[in-house]
Structures are given as structure tokens and as C-alpha cells.
Amino acid sequence: MSDHHAPGTGHARHAAPLRRMVARDRSEPHRAATPLELFFDLCFVVAVAQAGVELVHAVAEGHPGRGIADYAMVFFAVWWAWMNFVWFASAYDVDDVPYRLVTLVQMAGVLVLAAGVHRAVEQHDFSVVWFGYLVMRAAMISQWLRAARCSTGGERRTAVRYAAGVALCQVGWVGLLLLPEGGRAWLFLVMAAAEMSVPMWAEWAHRTSWHPRHIAERYGLFTIIVLGETIAAATVAVRSALDESHALDELLPLAAGGLLIVFAAWWIYFSVPIHEHLAFTGEGFLWGYGHYLIFGSAAAIGAGIEVAVEEMSGKAHISTTTAAAAVTVPSAVFLFTVWLLHARHHKRGRGQLTLPVSAALVLCCTWAGEPAVLLAGLVCAATVAVGVAVTARQARRAAPPG
């Protein structure tokens, strides 16, 4: 058995047979996402896509309340499974053969979860989703127990607490299979709170050595994946409408507005070096948990564009205003949440108000009729332009004279 690997590029290409699972250095230089982590993220594309499809169907059929509630529950399951792995890997990725094999088992669980999304939403049968979580949780518990075996003191207590908390929560989710349908929503709220309490309880014993730059990169990569899924979903919706002989000039404003929103979302999210803030503050929990709204709203934008296309095509049983809201509401949530978690830490003066004001303007576009999505896209594009101008002006003021 060899000691924990030294930082470098070699460990990402050649896994050692076995290493001690000890915590990595939080200040390790040049820490980047590994090919295994990127592969892991891609498995979640399927689950995110399934959640979006179910949201589109519910809203297009005139059941937005039920659709949003189901989407919130399913997306929480997807996001939380991803979160569990990301923060563990940032602290304990030893990249040996057992670590890789257990991670592949977790990925299999993700695919089982994705396969059960339709059944959970349409039939309220959570057995497949629960089994997918069981597979992922069994793998995750084994990882934490392995970390505990190689640790001492507070670090060991933290690893044991994580393993115990994850196991107890998995048992609690059995209620989704046993309770009557009316009680499942309440169970979800209780269990979601319990799930999010586990890391806070575990970290109380000893703070895990997650890497700020690595975590910021992992979250950024998942944001790109979600936005990419949004573009893919919107493209399929527009193509289907064109195949049904709908004129391009009718779809072009909607498609252009949707693209402007997605492009602006990418620009706005990556405009600040958030790892610097994470490295010097204790806001890891707020920042990490808050991304549920960022990821969820980003994915919902694509679903909203699909709904708007279906309404324009006459296939959705909703009003134009409702179809517009399916795009503008998640777009506004995205803008406001990115400001709350990112931009407010780096903007000064009037620049602080750009994203909150833009979020309010995007919401106002909901009542603009057919051009609503295009107008929302133009607001988002203007937001980027204002942000660039403000940043350039601040840089000029900060530059030394001469």
C-alpha cells in the first residue's frame, strides 16, 4: 500500500492499485477536475434531461403547480446525489483502483435514478428512484468508512458521522414507498432538511479539506452541463416545430431570445473568480446549497423554452402569459441567485444593483405577449453589457496613474 498521491498530472492517468485514503491538501496547487469526475457529471445529464421533460409535459398540459412541485423534488434528488460525491471527492480523491470502481458503482446508481424519474412523476412510484439512491448511498457510505479507517481524531469522527448520517437518511426515504400519497410531500420536506443537516453535523467535528478552486471548478462545470442541456432541449423543440411546417419567422424571435438568455447566463455566472471568496470565508454551506436554485433554474429555462414553442405551435393548453412565465421566472431566479451567491461579493457601488434590477425587468417581460422571451433575452444581453462596462470602469479607476 502506498501513501496518498502527490499532486500532479500523473495520478489522473494511471491509478495505483491501492492508496491510503487520507485528506488532500486544501492548498494543493493546480488542482483540477479529473477525467473520472467529468465522466461522473455526464451521467447526470440523463437525469437532468428526464426531470426537464416531465416539467415540460406538466406545464404544457396546464398543471404548472404540480409540475413545479414534482420537478423540485426530482431535481433535489439529482442535485443532492451530485453534491455528495463532489465534496467528498474534493477532500478524499485518491484515484486508486477501489476509488474508481466505487465511483463507477455510484454512476450506475445515477442511471437507475434517471430511469425512474418518469415513473416517479407520472405514477408517483418512487421504487426505482429509491433503489438508484440505495446503490449510490451504499457506495458513498463505503467511501466514508474507508476514509474513517485511514484517519484519526476529529477527521475520523467526521467521516463516521457522514457514513452514519447518509445511512440513516436512506432508511428515512423508505417512507416514500410506504406512506400514502398525501403524506409524501411532507416526508420530502422533512427528509430534505435532514439530508442537508448531515454535512453541518459532520463538519462540526472536523472540517473536511475540500479545495476552494477545485469546488468552484466542479460547480462551474456542472453549470455548463445544465446550460448545455438547456440549449439541446430548446433546439429539439424548435426543430420539431419546424418539421411540422411552422414558419421560421414565427420561431426565430423565440429561439433568439432563448439563446440570448442562455449565453448571458453563462457569461454572468463565470464573470467573477468565486474561488477567492470561498477560500477566505465560511460560506461553503450557503454557497453550495444555494446552487440548488442556480442549477434548477438553469435547467428549467430549457424546459420553459420548450413550453413556449409548444404554446406557439398550438400543442400546449396554456395561455401566452403562462408560456412566457415558464421562461422568465426561472431566468429571473437564476439572475437573482447568481447575484446573491457570486456577484455581490465582487461588485461595488451601483454595480451591486445590476442583477437584481435585471431579474425584476425579466419578470416584467412575462406580460409582453408573444415577444416576451425575446425581450427577456435582450434584457439579459443588456445586463452583460452593463456588467462589462462597470467592470472596465472599476479596473480603470483601480489602475495606478501613469
The answer, yes or no, to whether residue 182 has pLDDT greater than 70, is yes
Residue with cell 421566472: 329
Query: CATH topology for 33-205?
Result: Four Helix Bundle (Hemerythrin (Met), subunit A) (1.20.120)
What's the rounded mean pLDDT across residues 26-51? 89
The answer, yes or no, to whether residue 137 has pLDDT greater than 70, is yes
What's the rounded mean pLDDT across residues 86-115? 94
What's the rounded mean pLDDT across residues 377-387? 93
Question: Rounded to whole angstroms, how far apart are CA atoms 389 and 384?
Answer: 9
Helices (H) and strands (E) in the chain, counts: 15, 0
| Confidence at residue 4, expressed as pLDDT on a 0 to 100 scale | 43
What's the rounded mean pLDDT across residues 149-170? 94
Between 34 and 313, whose confidence is greater?
34
Residues 6+ apart with CB under 8 A from 288: 83, 87, 215, 219
The answer, yes or no, to whether residue 190 has pLDDT greater than 90, is yes
Domain coordinates of the chain in residue numbers?
Answer: 33-205, 212-398
- Can you spell out the DSSP letters for 191-207? HHHHHHHHHHHHHHH--
The answer, yes or no, to whether residue 134 has pLDDT greater than 90, is yes
What's the rounded mean pLDDT across residues 41-51? 89
The answer, yes or no, to whether residue 347 has pLDDT greater than 80, is no
User: Please, which pLDDT band fits residue 15 given cuts at 50, 70 and 90?
Assistant: low
The answer, yes or no, to whether residue 349 has pLDDT greater than 70, is no
Does the model's pTM come out above 0.85?
Answer: yes
Question: Rounded to whole angstroms, how far apart are CA atoms 141 and 368?
Answer: 51
Give the tens place of pLDDT for each residue, 239-271: 877 777 666 777 888 889 999 999 999 999 988
| Confidence at residue 384, expressed as pLDDT on a 0 to 100 scale | 93
> In the predicted model, what is the mean pLDDT of the chain?
87
Give the tens place of pLDDT for each residue, 290-303: 999 999 999 999 99
Kindly state the percentage of the chain with pLDDT values over 70.
89
Amino acid at position 382, single letter? A
The answer, yes or no, to whether residue 34 has pLDDT greater than 50, is yes
Q: Which one, of 92, 94, 103, lies nearest residue 208 by Cα?
A: 92
Q: Which of 100-109, 304-313, 319-328 has the lowest average pLDDT?
A: 304-313
| Confidence at residue 1, expressed as pLDDT on a 0 to 100 scale | 41
Task: Let me know: does 265 contact 380? Beta carbons within 8 Å.
Answer: yes
| Confidence at residue 11, expressed as pLDDT on a 0 to 100 scale | 43
Phi-psi region of 401 (alpha: psi -120 to 50; beta: other; left: phi over 0): beta
| Confidence at residue 249, expressed as pLDDT on a 0 to 100 scale | 74
User: Please, which pLDDT band fits residue 383 given cuts at 50, 70 and 90?
Assistant: very high
Question: Rounded to whole angstroms, how far apart are CA atoms 179 and 191?
Answer: 13
Residues 6+ apart with CB under 8 A from 70: 54, 55, 58, 120, 121
User: Please, which pLDDT band fits residue 9 given cuts at 50, 70 and 90?
Assistant: very low
Task: Let me know: does 380 contact 260? Beta carbons within 8 Å.
Answer: yes
User: Please, which pLDDT band fits residue 398 given cuts at 50, 70 and 90?
Assistant: low
Give the tens place of pLDDT for each residue, 55-64: 999 998 888 8
| Confidence at residue 5, expressed as pLDDT on a 0 to 100 scale | 45
The answer, yes or no, to whether residue 326 has pLDDT greater than 90, is yes
- Can you spell out the DSSP letters for 70-89? HHHHHHHHHHHHHHHHHHHH
| Confidence at residue 2, expressed as pLDDT on a 0 to 100 scale | 40
Q: Rounded to a whole number, what is the distance in angstroms from the first to the last CA of the chain?
A: 59
